[in-house]
């Protein structure tokens, strides 16, 4: 009852990369950097287990950014000549690589860290990949000239890697699609289909994470413009409910998402965000249990997974560790109180 998981990313230790940044520079290079990435992964596996979490992730310690980590292993992308582009409907500017030719995987993308994760925990493991629509929104296209065509091209590559991750022993493969909350019509029209293409043939659990972004200033400012009720999910949830995707990760605590929108995900596992990533204040177990209680009005017990609202990458390490513990303790309290036994 109420298993716990993180959305995906966790802060990188200061000896691995710059802290507090979305695109942090690595501290080392070559073999030393490769080892440091795995050392940091091990540290976060332990922290998640100590916090009592049920589904363990690699905390995305081996990639600089959740989208660009994948793109680095794709042929047809010029990583040398990044250009500045407004992303997420121009909410903020980012330096993005350019698509300059047909897309093809250079080989495996996340084999090392996925196998490392599988080796170092006996719990279920989740691995995250960027979703096709969000990738399309985080690169500059100089080749395809068509967002949908390019999204399906990326979906094929994602599918290749996802099938390989499943063979590595991954239990849950999650695609991150914050762009679904920005281009709602497109998400319903073709984004969900591209996502299903990326998940095609997977027999492990499949998930999609849709959020209002990391707790960075540009996102906090954007949220202030969204009004008293955030109804973005309303447009895409029906398409997701009808899709082959098993689990949906969404924001809940401290957001203005009307909780009844969760009822649109009938039949799906719902990863309810019970940990805020836009505030350093640590949730109490009580608060987490109450958020789970509110979600239970719209999500059946057996379908509720307690999760973070989004990744914790730009946060301080101690804050992130404390939030993981709050997640574990809060879900335990909810199990006791609302689960009908332990």
The residues of the shown chain that bind Zn ion, judged by CB under 5 A, are: 211, 310
CB of residue 81 to Zn ion, shortest distance in Å: 28
At 308, list the tokens. Answer: 């973070």
Which CB sits closer to Zn ion, 135 or 211? 211
At 92, list the tokens. Answer: 């903020």
What are the DSSP E strand ranges found in the chain? 55-56, 74-87, 92-105, 124-130, 140-141, 172-176, 205-209, 247-250, 269-275, 304-308
State whether residue 86 is helix, strand or coil.
strand
Pairing of strands 92-105, 74-87: antiparallel
CB of residue 340 to Zn ion, shortest distance in Å: 31
CB of residue 181 to Zn ion, shortest distance in Å: 9
CB of residue 203 to Zn ion, shortest distance in Å: 26
User: What residues are paired with 250 via a beta bridge?
Assistant: 272
Which CB sits closer to Zn ion, 211 or 257? 211
Pairing of strands 124-130, 172-176: parallel
Q: C-alpha angle with apex 103: 98 to 107, nearest 5 degrees?
A: 110
Torsion angles phi and psi, residue 171, rounded to 5:
-90, -30
Which CB sits closer to Zn ion, 24 or 311? 311
Q: Rounded distance, CA 278 to CA 309, Å?
A: 9
CB of residue 102 to Zn ion, shortest distance in Å: 30
Which CB sits closer to Zn ion, 170 or 211? 211
Q: Rounded distance, CA 171 to CA 161, Å?
A: 14
CB of residue 314 to Zn ion, shortest distance in Å: 11
Provide CB contacts within 8 A for 69, sequence distance 6+. 60, 62, 63, 109, 110
CB of residue 128 to Zn ion, shortest distance in Å: 10
> Do 130 and 70 meet the contact criterion of CB atoms below 8 Å apart?
yes
State whether residue 144 is helix, strand or coil.
coil
> Do 8 and 32 meet the contact criterion of CB atoms below 8 Å apart?
no
CB-neighbour burial class of residue 260 (10 A; exposed 0-12, middle 13-18, buried 19+): exposed
CB of residue 145 to Zn ion, shortest distance in Å: 29
């Amino acid at each position: 009852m109420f298993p716990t998981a993180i959305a995906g990313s966790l802060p990188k230790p200061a000896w691995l990369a710059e802290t507090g940044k979305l695109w942090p520079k690595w501290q080392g290079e070559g073999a030393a950097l490769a080892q440091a990435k795995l050392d940091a992964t091990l540290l976060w596996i332990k922290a998640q287990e100590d916090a009592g979490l049920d589904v363990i992730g690699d905390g995305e310690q081996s990639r600089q950014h959740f989208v660009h980590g994948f793109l680095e292993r794709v042929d047809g992308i010029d990583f040398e000549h990044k250009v500045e582009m407004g992303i997420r409907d121009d909410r903020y500017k980012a330096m993005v690589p350019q698509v300059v030719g047909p897309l093809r995987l250079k080989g495996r993308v996340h084999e090392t860290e996925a196998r490392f994760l599988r080796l170092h925990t006996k719990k279920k493991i989740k691995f995250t990949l960027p979703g096709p629509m969000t990738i399309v929104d985080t690169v500059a296209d100089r080749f395809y000239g068509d967002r949908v065509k390019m999204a399906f091209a990326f979906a094929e590559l994602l599918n290749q890697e996802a099938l390989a991750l499943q063979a590595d022993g991954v239990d849950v493969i999650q695609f991150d699609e914050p762009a679904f909350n920005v281009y709602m019509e497109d998400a319903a029209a073709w984004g969900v289909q591209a996502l299903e293409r990326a998940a095609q043939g997977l027999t492990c659990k499949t998930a999609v994470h849709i959020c209002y972004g990391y707790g960075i200033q540009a996102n906090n400012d954007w949220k202030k413009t969204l009004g008293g009720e955030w109804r973005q999910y309303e447009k895409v949830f029906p398409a997701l409910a009808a899709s082959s995707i098993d689990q949906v990760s969404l924001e809940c605590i401290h957001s203005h998402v009307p909780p009844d929108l969760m009822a649109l995900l009938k039949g799906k596992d719902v990863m309810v965000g019970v940990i805020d990533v836009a505030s350093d204040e640590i949730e109490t177990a009580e608060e987490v249990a109450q958020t789970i209680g509110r979600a239970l009005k719209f999500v059946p017990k057996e379908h509720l997974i307690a999760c973070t609202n989004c990744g914790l990458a730009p946060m301080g390490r101690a804050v992130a560790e404390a939030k993981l513990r709050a997640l574990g303790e809060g879900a335990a309290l909810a199990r006791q109180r609302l689960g009908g036994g332990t």
